[in-house]
Amino acid sequence: MTQFFSVADVDNLSQLVDEALQLKSNPFAAENLGKRKTLGLVFLNPSLRTRLSTQKAAIHLGMDVMVMNMDKEGWALETKDGVVMDGNTVEHIREAAAVMGQYCDILGLRSFPKLQDREEDYSEGLFRKFIDYCKVPVISLESATRHPLQSLTDLITIREYWQETIRPPKVVLAWAPHIKALPQAVPNSFAEWMCRAQAEGMVNFTIAHPKGYALAEEFTDGADLIHSLDEAIKGADFVYVKNWSSYEDYGKIHPVEGKWMIDSSRLALTNGAKVMHCLPVRRDLELASEVLDGPDALVIQEAGNRVWAAQAVLKRMLEQLQEK
């Protein structure tokens, strides 16, 4: 594995999930694999879970970790080519990426979308340039349109909590309210991974969202798309709660009809569903406190599993570096 940017970078999904769960049961099994290797984590946007869990995963593998908060400790990067750099940007992504590739064996990058120009965000230009120029394996710590470490974590968590073998679980991605315009990266990515998992017989996948909040089709191929939350979550085994802004009217928030927040009474419509969220979650706006504090919430366990997702991916990358 030389990049981890989308589900397409994973050859065998089920195997990667299994490997992550094996690492969970034996975190230090490969503690010499990453010896003398350095992981650089580059953040153009803030991070809590992603930074700490990926750092922890690297430690388990014996790697050294260097964290670079470019937004706080660094300076503005230019991403466009053919621009005379006489403005606010101090360094071009071409040089910045290439230089960081000189110092690190594997790089992670986080970069949020600006939510102003859909084409620009969805081209993933910054991320692709970073991969091109740094010349080392790159792991996405969330890009403009995807958050694959979160999605792998989610699939790990679903497998961990679904022991039944007769049928795959019904998984519902449920849009939730918010006061800010959030990226589509987490729901895009979750949908992309669940559609792949569905194609491999691991889950049945439904998406519920208000009209005007459809995700880009490239991510939802094969999913049931429903505009009624109550109808969608009927019989659900897992409900994945997440807000996102409009893809159609790009980056905007529209007033929605009806109530979209999940509380205990609504949860009663499901098949005793476990409730997931990538965090941070705004209590009683996105999701009721009574659910978050109740026995069906998996959000903390899910966050804990971020370590094993990152560790499984880093392990693959290190193994490939070793083969060279």
Instruction: Note the residues at the interface with a copy of itself (CB under 8 A).
Output: 28, 36, 38, 40, 43, 46-49, 51-53, 55-56, 59, 64, 66, 68-70, 72-75, 78, 81-86, 90-92, 94-96, 98-100, 102-104, 179, 279-285, 289, 292-293, 299-300, 303-304, 307
**CB of 52 or CB of 199, closer to a copy of itself:** 52
Whether 277 has a binding-site annotation, put simply, is no
Taken as a whole, the chain contains a residue count of 324
Burial classification of residue 289, based on how many CB atoms lie within 10 Å of its CB (0-12 exposed, 13-18 middle, 19 or more buried): exposed
- Pick from 58, 67, 70, 112: which is nearest to 95 by CA? 70
Residue 276 β-bridge partners: 240
Tell whether residue 200 is among the known ligand binding residues: no
46 labeled binding residue: no
- 110 annotated ligand binder: yes
Work out how close the CB of 39 gets to a copy of itself at its nearest, in angstroms, rounded to a whole number: 11
For residue 306, the minimal CB distance to a copy of itself (Å) is 8
Q: What three-state secondary structure class fits 116?
A: coil
Shortest Å, Cβ 65 to a copy of itself: 9
In the complex with a copy of itself, the residue whose CB is nearer, 23 or 197, is 23
Burial 91-106 (b: 16+ CB within 10 A, else e): bbbbebbeebbeebbb
150 is in an annotated binding site: yes
Distance separating alpha carbons of residues 9 and 124, to the nearest angstrom: 16
Nearest to 322 by CA among 86, 30, 72: 30
- Shortest Å, Cβ 25 to a copy of itself: 15
Task: Return d(Cα 151, Cα 192) in angstroms, integer.
Answer: 9
The least distance separating a copy of itself from the CB of residue 263, rounded to whole angstroms, comes to 12
Query: Any binding-site annotation on 113?
Result: no
d(CA 227, CA 175): 10
Query: Which residue numbers belong to the known binding site?
Result: 47-50, 75, 110, 142, 147-150, 178, 242, 278-279, 282, 306
Query: Which residue numbers belong to the known binding site for N(2)-succinyl-L-ornithine?
Result: 142, 178, 242, 282
Query: Which residue numbers belong to the known binding site for carbamoyl phosphate?
Result: 47-50, 75, 110, 147-150, 278-279, 306
